[in-house]
Amino acid sequence: MTEVHGGMAVIEVLRAFGVTQFFNVPGESFLPVLEALRTEPTIRVVTNRHESGASFAAEGFGKMSGRPAVCMATRGPGASNLSIGIQTAQYDSTPLVALLGLIPTTLQGSQAFQEFDSLSMFGSFAKRSLVVASRASLEATIAQALTDATSGRPGPVVVGLPADLLSVTAPLAQFGFPDTSAQVTPDIQPLLDRIGSASRPAFIMSTGAVRGSCAAEVGGVALRLGAPVLCGWRRFSAFDNGHPCFAGSIGLGSGPAVAATLEQADLVIAFGPIDPVTVDSGHLNRAGLMVVNVTSAPDPFLARRMPLANVSQIVCEPEIVARLLAAEVRKASGATHAQINQAAPRLLAQELTAETAVSRFNEWAPADAVIVSDAGDFAHALLRQFRFDQARTFIGPLNGAMGYGLPAAIGAQLAAPGRPVFCIAGDGGLLMTAGEMETATRLNLDIAVIVFNNQAYGTIRSRQAEAFPGHEFGTTLGEVSFTDLAKAMGWRAWPARTPSEFEAALSSVATSSGCRLIEVRL
């Protein structure tokens, strides 16, 4: 039997699972993995400028495709830099596998160069953290990681690879991927009973960014019941924003009408994970409210987030429950077909603000646009002024990680190369991972960035103004010309200070391709 070194064994397992995307910042601890990738035609390798960019790109790829990408970094500092995207994937239930090159097994516990405890570090926020114990268990451990990342509630799995094991040659060990697709058909009669006894039911959609059959089934049920449907925090494209029952997206910056809709409900049925921002912004923690969460894996912390509400969970794939619920509701007569949706007001662009820019961008963006958002106050305008209807898709970090937008847009573009990808970012967040602009140029991607430049950490400044009025301190940033920076990275770029300049820049973006940037000076 042909023997392969450990690096080749890793790639053989990734290939067998169907992994097509590998992001990394190279390190000497995993050179055998890079050598194996050099001759593997089915896996695209991207060399990033920073480990945070690699993990964010892998997370964006996973959100867009529903399949795990792999990101890899070396020990110590590299792994620490990689961690931000792993924590994002955990919050967002995104399938991802992170590989770490570790010190050799013979040096573990000796405070060797860049040694750290990966199990303790990543075990606190990844779905699972593993370290390969021997060359004989290498293949099975990678297979376990890929299976864990995609089964139940998806998430990131971290695997530490001691450097010496990657060079050891041995016959390729047997490995397999267990079938996790089987689902027990749940009894939805209790859910039907709750709907029957509720006077004002409402739905929350917090499933994947790319809309699937679950959204269509819930839309049909909502029409029959005359019930509103809302999207959870940064799940803005989980439900068709053009549907008659769509009542808005929940989260920081949502209008008062959104919270009012949920305050009127006596039953909330949520498909997908319920995060803390959705709970707080939607005022879900209140006495008398019944909440049913349909989720692919149990959430042991849900009752702690809503101690006042009556909370229950149906542990099953949301698509299955939505289909069963729709079939039962269709049997009932007396459909309501209420019109709930209200379009966001069109803003008169007398001055250029994030709100007016997003309003105009909404009118202009293609029907299949992928919008990738960084974290910041500028993104609140997306809740009020941008409609994720038709095939539009939203990708953004639930955990509020700055620097996310650009590398995640790279991942999304690689997952869906035929769709137009736009990144919305602030000056603070974009500059954290601006080096990935060179990565996008090198890959010849078709990405457009709109950066709102107010020379401040705007979200924190606004909170500071509330807590300590008139005492702005530590939140001001210096002057940066993103237009010049983008051009230096091989991008086309246009500055905009007025509505007419922004309109002209949008027109230029529409008539060009490749990497483009609009700098909105606020």
Give the tens place of pLDDT for each residue, 121-144: 899 999 999 999 999 999 999 999
Assess whether pLDDT exceeds 80 at residue 162. yes
Question: pLDDT category, 490, cuts 50, 70, 90?
Answer: very high
Average pLDDT over residues 513-518: 97
Instruction: Answer yes or no: are the C-beta atoms of 106 and 96 closer than 8 Å.
Output: no
Tell me which of 158 and 377 has the higher pLDDT.
158
Residue 421 pLDDT: 98
**189-331 — its CATH code?**
3.40.50.1220
How confident is the prediction for the chain on average, in pLDDT? 93
Helix (H) or strand (E) holding 21: strand 21-24
**Rounded distance between C-alpha atoms, residue 74 and residue 101, angstroms:** 5
Residue 304 pLDDT: 93
Give the tens place of pLDDT for each residue, 62-108: 999 999 999 999 999 999 999 999 999 999 999 999 999 999 887 67
Residue 329 has which token pair?
Answer: 């509701």
Domain 3-171 has CATH 1.10.287.3510: no
Assess whether pLDDT exceeds 90 at residue 116. no
Tell me which of 412 and 1 has the higher pLDDT.
412
Residue 386 pLDDT: 94
Q: Which residues contact 82 (CB under 8 A, 6 or more apart)?
A: 51, 52, 54, 55, 71, 73, 98, 100
Give the tens place of pLDDT for each residue, 381-424: 988 899 999 999 999 999 999 999 999 999 999 999 999 999 99
> Is residue 328 classed as helix, strand or coil in its secondary structure?
helix
222-226's contacts with Cβ under 8 Å and 24+ in sequence apart are 223/335, 223/336, 223/337, 223/338, 224/329, 224/330, 224/332, 224/335, 224/336, 224/337, 225/195, 225/201, 225/329, 225/336, 226/336, 226/337, 226/338, 226/340
Domain 354-521 has CATH 3.40.50.1000: no
Residue 257 pLDDT: 87
Instruction: Answer yes or no: are the C-beta atoms of 144 and 10 closer than 8 Å.
Output: no
Question: pLDDT category, 118, cuts 50, 70, 90?
Answer: confident
Extents of the domains making up the chain: 3-171, 189-331, 354-521
> Is residue 431 classed as helix, strand or coil in its secondary structure?
helix
- Measuring CA to CA, how many Å separate 90 from each of 99, 276, 296, 333, 462? 16, 14, 14, 42, 28
Residue 94 pLDDT: 97
Residue 137 pLDDT: 95
Residue 23 pLDDT: 98
Helix (H) or strand (E) holding 120: helix 118-123
Residue 369 pLDDT: 97
Evaluate whether 3-171 and 189-331 have a shared fold.
Answer: yes
Residue 160 pLDDT: 97
What is the gyration radius of the CA atoms in the chain, in angstroms? 24
Residue 121 pLDDT: 87
Give the tens place of pLDDT for each residue, 315-365: 999 999 999 999 999 887 555 656 677 666 666 567 899 999 999 999 999
Give the tens place of pLDDT for each residue, 280-311: 999 999 999 999 999 999 999 999 999 999 99
Strands 3-5 vs 169-171: parallel, antiparallel or unpaired? antiparallel
Residue 350 pLDDT: 75
Assess whether pLDDT exceeds 90 at residue 259. no
Tell me which of 26 and 107 has the higher pLDDT.
26
Average pLDDT over residues 230-256: 93
Give the tens place of pLDDT for each residue, 266-283: 999 999 999 999 999 999
Assess whether pLDDT exceeds 60 at residue 231. yes
